[in-house]
Amino acid sequence: MYKEFVHKIITFQSKSLLGFISFIESIFFPIPTDVLLIPMAISKPNNWYNLAMIATSMSVLGGIVGYFLGYFLFNEINPYILNYGYEAEFLEAQSLFIEYGIIILFISSFTPLPYKIFVIVSGFLSVNLFLFIIISFIGRGMRFFLVSFISKKYGHEIVHFINHYFLYISAFIILIFVIYKLYN
């Protein structure tokens, strides 16, 4: 299954698609850019730098759009936040911003925390736009350049491992999820 996905990404090698996904992922799209970036960097290791640059710049541009949505249109987008089940995350992001300041934006731009939520909260709380852009470039850049480089450097070994053990890995992840759900 994973092998088929990678093959489709390789044959549909599209930097425009990567840019588009990076852009919308910073605003509302639930699937992380990494899902597309990793197989692209593995399939074209000499392009890892360009792929990371596209993902970073388009993600930050999307972040700027999300910032302005939070700044100008929060009352209009608030029902969508509620409908998509992001209310708890939004309130948590808002309290984290109040407690930790701009450092939480950096953390969300680099880690799996939902960057899009912190982007909208940044606009809603009127975080300095210049500072927002700089922090987003640093955090998103570190993330996408690291992911792209690791994919280029160790990608084929990882793909081989996943192809060989995909069924076992999937079963293990499902088992962990079921155990977690049973006890929480």
Determine the number of helices (DSSP H) and then strands (DSSP E) in the chain. 9, 0
Residue 150 belongs to some domain of the structure: yes
Residue 147 belongs to some domain of the structure: yes
Measured CA distances, 1 to 43, 49, 100, 135 (Å): 17, 27, 42, 37
Residue 48 belongs to some domain of the structure: yes
Residue 174 belongs to some domain of the structure: no
Structural domain including 42 reads: 2-154
pLDDT band for position 136 (50/70/90)?
very high
What span, in angstroms and rounded, lies between the C-alpha atoms of 156 and 144? Answer: 18
- If you average pLDDT over residues 58-67, what whole number do you get? 97
- Number of domains comprising the chain: 1
Residue 92 belongs to some domain of the structure: yes
Residue 113 belongs to some domain of the structure: yes
User: In this predicted structure, which of 10-19, 78-87, 141-150, 160-169 has the lowest mean pLDDT?
Assistant: 160-169
pLDDT for the residue numbered 52: 97
**Per-range mean pLDDT, top range of 47-61, 113-127, 162-176:** 47-61
Sign of CA dihedral 120, 122, 125, 131: negative
Task: For 89-135, write each residue's pLDDT tens digit.
Answer: 778 878 888 888 788 899 889 887 789 988 998 998 889 999 999 99
